[in-house]
Amino acid sequence: MRSIPRVARAFAVTGALALGLAACGGGDDDTASGDGGGEGGDEIVTVGFVAVGPEGGWRQANEANVQDTFTEEAGFELKYAPATNLDQRSQIDAFTSFVDEGVDVILLSATEGAGWEDSLRRAQEAEIPVILVDRGIEPDDTSLYVTRIAPDNYEVSTSVAEWAVSAFPDGGNYFVLEGPAGVSVVNERNRGWDDTVGAVPNLVKVGAQTANWSTEEAKSVFETVLRANNNDIQIVFAQNDEMGLGAAIAVEEAGLTPGVDVQIATIDGTKPALEALAEGRLSFVAEYNPLFGETLLEVVDKVLNGEEVEPYIVVPSETFDSPEAAAAALPDRKY
């Protein structure tokens, strides 16, 4: 049982007093509900969001969704603190400020997996619950945070690997375009892919390199890879959409046809990727659903009410394996 955060205790005490007063014919019954998120509770809950900031389409959708959910009308004051140039130091400074300020809860989307122990322990000492949003920490010490909310990166990348195995029964050479080194989801996605593809001897890894989630960098990296391998690459596993789109440009500029000569699979499920899949420039897109703000709000409410929550709350995501599937999904896509 995780210790009851400060705010929940406050509500618990207020609730008890209210119930006591109510029994004597006084006090408000709305404080008895002890809701953290403003529904029923009469206090604004302050949320410190240690965020990543500008990084690409997925991040923009995720952070906008969190900000659109934790509104004043919903009973929250969201303090948004994006990293400076993806720098972890700036995140740790923002985290420390939130602890010193005594916010009610901290949301953390970590730019780096490692290096969070001291910050998390400080929050624990201040009885401020920390919820990991999307990104995990490494090593993963679940005693240092209340829960993590994200799609399951291992399962998402396994779905990409299973597509590759089924699409290439006679095997092929593949290259992996990775996100930045040290980011938790990159390691999780590598494990999911390797555990499935690694068991298939005729799927041959030519190499892997980070392109830092960037289309431009992925184009440059994959141009070099194609030249160095006489274009003999059949599959690209790009760990996000932007890098997959960069690989597609590199394939086209090499005089090849994406979807025919080289099949590219990506993770995220942003509109540009589904549009490319509908056109045949990508071959498989695994959604990594960023729109989980409502779930996050429910979890914050539960945590501030001292309720137990699972250590990892998985956000459901789907996959798209054909131009028809992408075209059918596009009209309703929200990011």
In the complex, which residues of this chain contact ligand AHR (CB under 6 A)? Answer: 55-56, 58-59, 134-135, 185, 213, 240, 267-268, 288
- Nearest to 236, CA basis, from 255, 253, 201, 211: 211
| Smallest separation (angstroms) from ligand AHR to the CB of 108 | 12
Residue 48, C-beta contacts closer than 8 angstroms, at least 6 positions apart: 79, 81, 94, 95, 97, 98, 101, 103, 105, 106, 107
| Smallest separation (angstroms) from ligand AHR to the CB of 288 | 5
Q: Which whole-number Å values give the CA distances from 321 to 43, 152, 191, in the listed order? A: 47, 19, 21
CA–CA distance, 312 with 314 (Å, rounded to integer): 6
CA diameter of the chain: 85
CA–CA distance, 247 with 253 (Å, rounded to integer): 10
Query: In terms of CB distance, is 128 or 149 closer to ligand AHR?
Result: 149
Query: In terms of CB distance, is 55 or 178 closer to ligand AHR?
Result: 55
Q: Are strands 147-150 and 203-210 parallel, antiparallel or unpaired?
A: unpaired
Query: In terms of CB distance, is 35 or 188 closer to ligand AHR?
Result: 188
Query: In terms of CB distance, is 134 or 301 closer to ligand AHR?
Result: 134
Q: Which whole-number Å values give the CA distances from 75 to 46, 85, 127, 165, 308, in the listed order? A: 9, 31, 21, 48, 21
| Smallest separation (angstroms) from ligand AHR to the CB of 100 | 27
| Smallest separation (angstroms) from ligand AHR to the CB of 109 | 7
Query: In terms of CB distance, is 5 or 56 closer to ligand AHR?
Result: 56
| Smallest separation (angstroms) from ligand AHR to the CB of 243 | 8
